[in-house]
Structure 1
Amino acid sequence: MDAAVLHARLSDWFDDAARDLPWRLPSRTPWGVLVSEFMLQQTPVSRVLPVWEDWMSRWPAPADLAAAPAGEALRHWGRLGYPRRALRLHAAATAVVVHHGGNVPNSYAELLALPGVGTYTAAAVAAFAFGHRETVVDTNIRRVHARLVGGAALPAPALTAAEMKRAATLLPDDGPASVRWNAAVMELGALVCTARTPSCEQCPVLDRCAWVAAGKPAPTYVPKGQSWAGTDRQVRGAIMHVLRHTDSPVPLPLIRERPVDLAHGTPAAFEKLYGLHAPLEQLERALNGLLADGLAEETPRGLQLPA
C-alpha cells in the first residue's frame, strides 16, 4: 500500500471535514490540549465541549486549577463520568506547578510522568500541543488502521504490539505531517469509519481499504458494552450528583433513605438518587467506594466533596 497516497488524501479530506474544535485552534494552549485529552477519554466530543469551555474559563492555566480545592474540580466535572479523571487532572496540574514552573512539559517522557497520564495521553499531548512526531493510537485510529490496512472489521479487543508497530510504520517521517496524519485518521474514525455504521461512500480512501476489498467481513467478536442501569456505577454517579449540587455536607441518612417529608420539597439531585430505589447494601457499597477513591470525604456533619 502506498502510504504517501493515504497521507495526501487524508490530509486533503481533513482540510474540508475537520470539526472546528477549540483545542485545535491556533490559539490553543498546551494546558487546553491536556485538559481535552483527559476529558475525551471514553466520552464523546458533544458532552466534553461545554465542560471543557467552563474549565478553561475557570482555570485557564495549570496554576489556577492547582490552587483550587480538588472538590471544585469534581464539582465542575459535571456528568462526564469517571470522575477520578478530575482528581487526576487536578493532581497533574499540581505536578506541573511544582515540577515544571506551571508550564505543561513538552516531552513524551515528562508528560508520561504526570499523574493520570498514560502512554496515549502523553503521545497525544506531545503531538497535538507541541507538534512532535509521536505514534498516537486511540480507539478511532485503531479501527481505521484495522479496516484500511488489516482488512478486519474491528481491531483486537485490546491494543497489541503489532498494532503499535503498524501505526508507527504508517506515520509520516515529517513532524507536522505526522501530527496532521494522527488528527486526520482520528477524525475519519470519529465521523466516517465509525464502529457500527461506517459511511464508506464518504471515505476518501475507499478504493484503498482492505476491509472493503475483502467484502466487509463481519467482526470476529461482539464488543461488550458497559452496562449502566442498576449498577453500582449508576448509584455512585447519583451520589456524586447530589454532592456537586450541595454547598454543605450531606447528612448520611439523607443518602441512605428518603425522608418521609422534606420541608421545602425534594431537590432535583436527590430525586435522581431516590428514583433509583437502590437497596441499602448497594448504597453502602457506593458510599464506601467513593470514600476509598477519594471522591468524597466524611465529616461530622455528613458527606462532602474533598477539600
Structure 2
Amino acid sequence: MPSSPDLYSPLAAWFANHRRALPWREEGTSAWGVLVSEIMSQQTPVARVAEPWRTWMKRWPTPQALARADSAEVLRAWGSLGYPRRALRLHECARTVEREHGGELPVGVEALVALPGIGDYTAAAVASFAQGQRACVLDTNIRRVLTRVLDAKAAPSAHVTKRDRARFEKLLPVEVEHSRIWNEGVMELGALVCRARNPMCEACPLSEHCAWLQAGRPGLGERTTRPQSYEGSDRQIRGRILKTLREGGAATVGTLENASGADSERFVRLLTDLLAEGLISRTASGEITLGAGTHKEEHVHAR
C-alpha cells in the first residue's frame, strides 16, 4: 500500500490548481452552510445545487431560521432538487439543533451523526471541511479513486466495509489542515478526473501510483448495477404530484390524479405514501397541500 506522503503531495499540488470555486467553499461559509450543501448534493449533481444553495442560505442562513419555517415553505423552496424527503430531514435537523444545541451546530463526527438525517459521510464531511476536525470522509468519488489506486478495481464495493475504512483511514494525513485538503482533493479528483466512466488517467496526479492503471484498467465500462429508468417511475409520478402542489398550492385529489398521469390504483398508492411520509397533508376542506398537517389520512380514494 502506498504511504500517505506518496499520495498526498501530488494530490495537494493538483488540487491547488484545479479546485472548483463552489459557493460553499467561499471563505466565511458556516458549518451549517456546508451541511446544507452536503444534503442538497446527495444524489444530485453539484452543478444543479449552486444556485438553490445560494437562495436557501439567503433565506435560512442559520439552523434557527430554518427551524422556524413550516414544512410546506421548506418543500416549496426545495423545488426541483429531487428526493424531497431530504428537505424534511434537513428541517428536522434544524429543529433539533435549535431545541437541543441552542441553535449552534454541534462539533465533531460523533455529535453530528446523532442529529436526525445525518449519516457517517455527511458528519465526516462537515467536521473536516468546516469544523477543523480530522475525519475520514468516504463518498463514492473518494472510494472509487482509492479502490482504483490500491486495489486495481474499476469500482468500489456497494458498501463501506470495516476493512476498507481502516485502510483508507491510514492514508489520512495526521495534520488537520492536510487531512482537509486530502479529503477535498480526492473527492475533487474523483469528480473531475477519476470518473466512473471515461476517466482522464493522463491528467491524474496519482497515475504513477495507480494499481488499476498499471493493470490496464480492468473492468472499465462494465456495469455493476442495473440502470434505473426515471421515465414512468414512481419517482417521476411523485414528482409530478409535488410539483403541482408547489406551483398551485392546495389541490383536489382529482386534480392531482390528472397531473400525475398514473392509473388510479398506482396514484392512490403513491399519494398514500406521500401522506405517510409527511410530504403532503389533507386540509380540513379535503384538499391536499404540501407539508405535514395536524393529522394524516390512512386511506385515500381516487375520484
TM-score of the superposition, structure 2-length normalised? 0.92
Which residue number in structure 2 is paired with residue 292 of structure 1? 276
Amino acid at match of 1:287: L
| Structure 2 spans left out of the alignment, 5+ residues | 294-303
Show the 5 A alignment for 1:99-178. Answer: 99-178=100-179
Q: Distance in 1 between matches of 2:77 and 2:124?
A: 26
Q: Distance in 1 between matches of 2:257 and 2:244?
A: 12
Q: Distance in 1 between matches of 2:279 and 2:72?
A: 8
Whether the aligned pair in 2 keeps the contact of 1:144 and 1:189 (CA below 8 Å) is: yes
Are 2:280 and 1:279 aligned?
Answer: no
CA offset digits 1:32-67 (Å, max 9, x no partner): 001011111111101111111110011011111111
CA offset digits 1:203-222 (Å, max 9, x no partner): 01111111001111115752
Which residue number in structure 1 is paired with residue 229 of structure 2? 227
Which residue number in structure 2 is paired with residue 182 of structure 1? 183
Whether the aligned pair in 1 keeps the contact of 2:4 and 2:170 (CA below 8 Å) is: no
Whether the aligned pair in 2 keeps the contact of 1:147 and 1:210 (CA below 8 Å) is: yes
Which residue number in structure 1 is paired with residue 243 of structure 2? 241
Which residue number in structure 1 is paired with residue 287 of structure 2? 302
User: How large is the Cα RMSD of the aligned pairs?
Assistant: 1.3
Q: Distance in 2 between matches of 1:79 and 1:99?
A: 31
The share of aligned pairs that are identical, in percent, is 47
Amino acid at match of 1:21: L
Whether the aligned pair in 1 keeps the contact of 2:142 and 2:190 (CA below 8 Å) is: yes
Amino acid at match of 2:127: A
- SS of equivalent to 2:248: coil
Amino acid at match of 1:281: E
Which residue number in structure 2 is paired with residue 76 of structure 1? 77
Deviation at 1:227, TM superposition (A): 2.5
Deviation at 1:223, TM superposition (A): 2.5
- SS of equivalent to 1:149: helix
Q: How many residues align?
A: 289
Q: Distance in 1 between matches of 2:133 and 2:159?
A: 26
| Structure 1 spans left out of the alignment, 5+ residues | 258-269
- SS of equivalent to 1:116: coil
Deviation at 1:5, TM superposition (A): 2.4
Show the 5 A alignment for 1:54-73. Answer: 54-73=55-74
Show the 5 A alignment for 1:23-34. Answer: 23-34=24-35
Q: Distance in 1 between matches of 2:88 and 2:108?
A: 23
TM-score of the superposition, structure 1-length normalised? 0.91
Whether the aligned pair in 2 keeps the contact of 1:232 and 1:285 (CA below 8 Å) is: no
Show the 5 A alignment for 1:247-286. Answer: 247=249, 249-257=250-258, 270=259, 273=260, 277-286=261-270
Deviation at 1:145, TM superposition (A): 0.5
CA offset digits 1:47-101 (Å, max 9, x no partner): 1111111100110111111111011111111111111000000000111111111
- SS of equivalent to 2:151: coil
Q: Distance in 1 between matches of 2:70 and 2:154?
A: 45
- SS of equivalent to 2:242: helix
Amino acid at match of 1:179: R
CA offset digits 1:112-145 (Å, max 9, x no partner): 1111001111111111110200010000001000
